[in-house]
Chain A
Amino acid sequence: EVQLVESGGGLVQPGGSLRLSCAASGFTFSSYWMSWVRQAPGKGLEWVANIKQDGSEKYYVDSVKGRFTISRDNAKNSLYLQMNSLRAEDTAVYYCARMNSGYDPDYWGQGTLVTVSS
């Protein structure tokens, strides 16, 4: 069974940093692109970042470029999102998702809440 479990969310002050993790199991993690998607309270879904199987390609939504870094450790079956210079508008539930061979986000974790507030 495919499982994705996010962790690392919490309350952080504006300008602060946070590192999210996503532990994957039930599939060959190193064979899949992975994504981060977020959802602000009461709002819609927003794609944040993607990373290729070997980590050689990374892509970001414009609003997080230069502040967020997606990475992975295939030996640990883990996906990460390093978030720096956090802003109030980054407050959201952050989901990790697996992208299948058709680039469809087919499995999602339950999400971790990040709150940026003083």
Chain B
Amino acid sequence: SYELTQPSSVSVSPGQTARITCSGDVLAKKYARWFQQKPGQAPVLVIYKDSERPSGIPERFSGSSSGTTVTLTISGAQVEDEADYYCYSAADNILGVFGGGTKLTVL
């Protein structure tokens, strides 16, 4: 088995840059994805292939990778970005695993 490790919480003021990390051995070989989940809603894909942004996702969301750690960066975080964020990867692209999630507070 394998796992992904995220900080449980990150807090920033509006307009500041928020960075959320995710670490795990599988990330050295496989892409990471990032999901945003707001209370009572389904997750939304915000980053795939470590750093690609799906259409409709604001440019302030970006991703980067270095070795076994990936980072989700929200530049100029806004109050509406307050949510839980999960990283995800998959061994052999099939056996999925999520990080434990990070609660982002913007206030």
Contact = CB atoms under 8 A, between A and B. Distances in A.
A50 B42 contact: no
Interface in B51-84: 54, 84
A110 B90 CA distance: 22
A105 B42 contact: no
Contact of A102 (B35, B48, B94, B101): B48
For chain A, which range describes its interface: under 10, 10 to 19, 20 to 34, or 35 or more residues? 20 to 34
Interface in A22-44: 35, 37, 44
B54 A50 contact: no
For chain B, which range describes its interface: under 10, 10 to 19, 20 to 34, or 35 or more residues? 20 to 34
Main secondary structure of the interface of B (DSSP, over half): strand
A109 B44 CA distance: 10
A110 B97 CA distance: 20
Contacts of B43: 37, 45, 95, 105, 108
A59 B48 contact: no
A45 to B, nearest CB: 4
Given A50-B96, A59-B95, A108-B43, A45 B54 contact: no
Contacts of A105: 33, 35, 43, 45, 88, 96
Contact of B100 (A37, A44, A57, A110): A44
Interface of B: 1, 31, 33, 35, 37, 41-45, 48-49, 54, 84, 86, 88, 90, 93-101
In order of increasing CB-CB distance, the 4 nearest A-B pairs are: A47-B96, A44-B101, A103-B93, A108-B42
